[in-house]
């Protein structure tokens, strides 16, 4: 006695479906997470993070002062890049400046100007 070909096809489809469900269940992380652990921010989130107004953020991006990525009509900001951008404006403490001056003076000698009479 021969089996119905439609039943054979249905059984095979069910087997394939169960295999695909098993594969999907065993996937640990999406590929996007493995590529980058950096958090992407929208304009609103970036303005809150930087405590700037939204139009100010747009202006800084337009002047290429603030690092941003544009995908379509949307802007995205890397939280790490924004933190690095903020840290670029760090002012040195008095002791750091004095240490740099002392290091400079120790390596560079002042030239003497001899007055000729």
Tell me if 66 is assigned to some domain: yes
C-alpha distance across the termini of the chain, in Å: 127
pTM: 0.53
Is residue 15 domain-resident?
no
| Inside any domain, residue 2 | no
102 occurs within a structural domain: no
Tell me how far apart the alpha carbons of residues 47 and 53 are, in angstroms, rounded to a whole number: 6
> Could you read off the pLDDT of 11-64 as tens digits, one per residue?
999 999 999 998 888 876 555 554 456 799 999 999 999 999 999 999 999 999
* Paired tokens of 71: 């995908």
Structural domain including 77 reads 36-89
Q: Is residue 54 part of a domain?
A: yes
**Tokens read off for 115:** 């007055």
Residue 64's CATH number: 3.90.105
How many domains would you assign to the chain? 1
Helix (H) or strand (E) holding 75: strand 74-78
Q: Work out whether the CA dihedral 67, 46, 80, 100 comes out positive or negative.
A: positive
């Amino acid at each position: 006695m021969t089996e119905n070909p439609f039943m054979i096809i249905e059984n095979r489809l069910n087997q394939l479906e169960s295999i695909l469900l098993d594969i999907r269940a065993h996937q640990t992380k999406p590929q996007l997470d493995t590529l980058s652990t950096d958090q992407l921010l929208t304009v609103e989130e970036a303005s809150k993070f930087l405590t700037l107004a939204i139009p100010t953020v747009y202006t800084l991006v337009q002047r290429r002062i603030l690092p941003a990525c544009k995908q379509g009509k949307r802007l995205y900001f890397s939280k790490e890049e924004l933190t690095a951008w903020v840290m670029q404006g760090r002012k040195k403490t008095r002791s750091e400046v004095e240490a740099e001056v002392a290091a400079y003076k120790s390596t560079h000698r002042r030239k003497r100007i001899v007055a000729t009479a």
